[in-house]
Amino acid sequence: MLKKISLAVTAIAFSATTSFAATTNITWWHGMSGKNGEVINEVAKKFNAAQTACAITPVSKGTYEEALAAGIAAFRSGEQPNILQVFDAGAATIINAKGAVIPAEDLILKAGHKFERDAFLDGIRYFYADQSGKFVGMPFNSSAPIMYINTDALKKAGVEAPKTWEDFEAIAPKLKEAGFVPLVQSQLTWEFTENFFSRNNVQFASNNNGYETTEGTTLNVTDPKLEMMFTKLKDWADKGWFGYYGAGWSDNQKVFEENKAALWIGSSGSFGGLQKTAKMPFSADFLPYWGSIQGAGTNSFIGGAALFAMAGKPDAENNCVADFFQFLTSPEIQAYYHKETGYVTVTKAAYELAKKEGWYNEKPVAEVGIKQLMLPSGEWSKGYRLGFYPQIREIMEREYNRIFANETSVKDGLETIKKEGDALLARFAKTAG
């Protein structure tokens, strides 16, 4: 009897170990919720169904910032996940922490896969890469700031959608006369600062936008061109051509949704939600640039987030992460993710696939962000790498609000951003050193 039991126990133990050995479990912490979170679960399910060697478990950690904070805390106590999603502004934090992540490209090559940098859209290639162009983060959910157009409003005013800000100045009085707020936007930092520099091909920060070194990197926000942009915005706001409702994203979007504004600068990822909430038909076009700036009209930086493979994990798990990255960048999964969420495809092949499937005949707006990212790159439109950047964005938000609340001038506001921002960059250089 006893022998029988011990035999059974051994059998169970044996089968248990074999089943453990068969699948390697990896975890993926992300900062998505709602519909986007559900799609992530769906992608994970597809990966787990497609093969048996690896099993991935996605865990939502709240917002982007919370996911990064959770990842850092976990890393410090040796409990880090295999994959951590980090948003654009947090990229410098994780990339500059040498030894926190394994560059995605190294990981994929080591696992015996091929890796082609050219397969990715130009606007996406460099943002999460190091100076030599090697991919550190794997671009995942990417978006671009684009201009949404209230087609009825433009028809009513009898004008065409602007390509440049000069065009906008020409049509704004007519839009106002037709009873619309001519222009609203949702994030002055991303849409009118970072991507002002990319779309107009102007240098954002010293040391090659911060890519070369953290030492002595300074912001270029007092550039006369940026000052011109904000002087214009303030002027437009005073004339009633531009409506500003604070730093909150949705307070500004709501005006457009309710058919009160003619143009809204939003994210290429906004259109899925906008289709449900907008009370009028809309289309979209590229984020305008200044015709008066030489060499302007280049591609925009990507927004959104990338996936990073955390260091300190066994090889078997790292290989699974590499497999997952391969799976994630396959055209089918990319196209699926693109259609479900509105984020752009990160690879050219996925874009071609979505095009072939006729997705853009159905939803032309979905193509605008991709096309904008595929515009020719300029010297300064590849990306930026600035430490403590989330805090620098907070300084910008504060000063921009003060500008529109008449508490400071454009010049003083930008100078404050430079002064406090440079101090933060210097602090960051010390932490990295």
Partner 1 sequence: MKRAQFSSSLLPYLFLAPQLAVIFIFFYWPSAEAIRSSFFLEDPFGFGSTFVGFQNYIDTLTSPEYLGIAAFTALFTVLVTFFSLAAGLLLAVKADKVIRGSSAYKTLLISVYAIAPPVAGLIGMMFFDQHIGPFVRLAALFGWEMKVGLNYWDTTFAMVFVAVWKQIPYNFIFFLSGLQSIPASVLEAAVIDCRNGLRRFWTVLAPLLTPTAFFLLIINFTYALFDTFGVIDVMVKDKAANNPITLTYKVYMDGFRGNDLGGSSAQSVILMVVVLVLTVFQFRFLERRVHYG
Q: Which of residues 283-322 bind partner 1 (CB under 8 A)?
A: none
Does position 134 interact with partner 1 (CB under 8 A)? The reply is no
- Which of 72-80, 172-180, 192-200, 267-275 is the region at the interface with partner 1 (rule: CB under 8 A)? 72-80
DSSP 378-408: -TT-S----TTHHHHHHHHHHHHHHHHTTSS
| Options 27, 60, 82, 93; binder of partner 1; rule CB under 8 A | 93
What is the CB-side half-sphere exposure of residue 122 using CA atoms within 13 A?
15
Give the total of residues touching partner 1 (CB under 8 A): 47
| Options 99, 116, 132, 361; binder of partner 1; rule CB under 8 A | 99
Which CB sits closer to partner 1, 62 or 173? 62
Which CB sits closer to partner 1, 313 or 339? 313
Which CB sits closer to partner 1, 242 or 337? 242
| Options 100, 219, 328, 425; binder of partner 1; rule CB under 8 A | 100
Q: Which of residues 222-281 bind partner 1 (CB under 8 A)?
A: 244-249, 251, 254-255, 258
Neighbours of 73 (CB within 10 A): 11
Which CB sits closer to partner 1, 235 or 352? 235
In DSSP terms, 101 is beta-bridged to: 310
Residue pair 94/308 in contact by the 8 Å Cβ criterion = yes
Cα 204 off chain centre by: 17
| The pairing of beta strand 101-102 with beta strand 303-310 | antiparallel
What letter does residue 161 receive in the DSSP assignment? P
At residue 241, the 3 state secondary structure works out as coil
Residues in Cβ contact with 25 at an 8 Å cutoff, skipping those fewer than 6 apart: 54, 55, 56, 57, 317
Does position 399 interact with partner 1 (CB under 8 A)? The reply is yes
Does position 105 interact with partner 1 (CB under 8 A)? The reply is no
User: To 5 degrees, how large is the angle CA 210–CA 32–CA 432?
Assistant: 25
Does position 209 interact with partner 1 (CB under 8 A)? The reply is no
Which CB sits closer to partner 1, 207 or 401? 401
For residue 76, the minimal CB distance to partner 1 (Å) is 5
Residues in Cβ contact with 431 at an 8 Å cutoff, skipping those fewer than 6 apart: 387
- Give me the helices (H) in 55-149, please: 64-76, 91-96, 104-110, 122-125
For residue 225, the minimal CB distance to partner 1 (Å) is 23
Buried b / exposed e along 213-248 (16+ C-beta atoms within 10 A): bbeebbbbbebebbbbbbbbbbebbeeebbbbbebe
Which CB sits closer to partner 1, 187 or 377? 187
Euclidean distance between CA atoms 141 and 37, whole angstroms = 12
| Options 26, 43, 67, 68; binder of partner 1; rule CB under 8 A | 68
| Options 208, 420, 421, 422; binder of partner 1; rule CB under 8 A | 420
Residues in Cβ contact with 352 at an 8 Å cutoff, skipping those fewer than 6 apart: 331
- Which of 35-43, 51-59, 290-298, 390-398 is the region at the interface with partner 1 (rule: CB under 8 A)? 390-398
For residue 65, the minimal CB distance to partner 1 (Å) is 5
Task: Name the nearest CA neighbour of 389 among 129, 86, 173.
Answer: 86
Does position 404 interact with partner 1 (CB under 8 A)? The reply is yes
| Options 60, 96, 185, 300; binder of partner 1; rule CB under 8 A | 96
- Which of 43-51, 70-78, 230-238, 322-330 is the region at the interface with partner 1 (rule: CB under 8 A)? 70-78
In DSSP terms, 286 is beta-bridged to: 146
Cα 2 off chain centre by: 62
At residue 359, the 3 state secondary structure works out as helix
Q: Which of residues 340-359 bind partner 1 (CB under 8 A)?
A: none
DSSP 157-174: HT-PPPSBHHHHHHHHHH
For residue 217, the minimal CB distance to partner 1 (Å) is 15
Which CB sits closer to partner 1, 111 or 432? 432
Does position 411 interact with partner 1 (CB under 8 A)? The reply is no
Q: Which of residues 144-173 bind partner 1 (CB under 8 A)?
A: none
Euclidean distance between CA atoms 160 and 151, whole angstroms = 9
Binding site for partner 1 (CB under 8 A): 63, 65-66, 68-69, 72, 75-76, 93-94, 96-100, 244-249, 251, 254-255, 258, 388, 390-391, 394-395, 397-402, 404-405, 407, 420, 423-424, 427, 430-433
